[in-house]
Amino acid sequence: MEVILAKTAGFCFGVKRAVDRVYEQVDSGKKNVYTFGPIIHNEAVVGDLEEKGIHVLHTTEELEQLEKGTVVIRSHGVSREIYELMERKGLEIIDATCPFVKKIHRIAAESSEKGNTVVIVGSREHPEVQGITGWCRGPVCVVENQQEAEELSLSPGTPVTIVSQTTFNYNKFKDIVEIISKKGYNSSVVNTICNATQERQVEAREIASKVDAMIVIGGRNSSNTQKLFEICKKECESTYYIQTFKDLTEQNFQTVRTVGITAGASTPNNIIEEVHTNVRVKF
């Protein structure tokens, strides 16, 4: 049986950078270290950090109650309000926001100051999108799909700046932008989808189109992994979304000759290697 592992599978630059920053705090022996939200959407990594004494703050209320300590801002970034709250409280801030997300914060803030309406293409429930929204001083809209793009209603000639969640599906982004561009606004489009995301999606689609079964590895709450699964499922009906190798135990792959493997940006290499090394046992 042939197994094809995607070259782009696993940690992206921004995620690796954020995870490394947290483990640096562990190695230094520093106490009272927190992350605002899980550092990445991967239960194995978050669990390991919790065992090493890194605590997760899930809400603004928890942050407000914190009297001292170090807070690591995860790769998804946070809103201006959260950042300023940490500064007021005198907490040590380690900003591990992905530089590509930081760029969107600057675009959103500058566009808002000019009076533009900022349109963010992405999932409104995703922490990255919530963070971007929080850097807008003026009107801001989140558009998740083509239907919401069709329903977007602003005055003709409204100056609009369109950006995207870094992990959004590139083809869907283009479709949404096309719909908005026909509405007669004074639109400026900035494609802020991360290059690594585009490359990962293109490679996943290519592999899925030529294998009998496709395995997508990543946390259940990982937006970019969910999008990889959607892309692969369209090309290969036998596509499986797993978090670790043990999730394959109940699958039946008796007639499979070729298997493809890809993984989301929050998936550690050791999990990918375990699946890649042992997948033949399950097929």
Active site residues per annotation: 128
Residue 54: exposure state from Cβ atoms within 10 A (0-12, 13-18, ≥19) = buried
Q: At what angle do helices 170-181 and 195-208 cross, to 10 degrees?
A: 120
Beta carbons of 116 and 138 less than 8 angstroms apart? yes
Beta carbons of 236 and 209 less than 8 angstroms apart? yes
Closest to 241 measured CA to CA, from 255, 271, 220: 220
Residue 96: exposure state from Cβ atoms within 10 A (0-12, 13-18, ≥19) = buried
Question: Which strands form 70-73's sheet, in the order they lie side by side?
Answer: 55-57, 33-36, 70-73, 92-95
What is the gyration radius of the CA atoms in the chain, in angstroms? 20
C-alpha torsion sign, points 39, 45, 48, 52: negative
d(CA 57, CA 66): 9
- Name the strand (E) or helix (H) holding 187: strand 186-189
Beta carbons of 282 and 249 less than 8 angstroms apart? yes
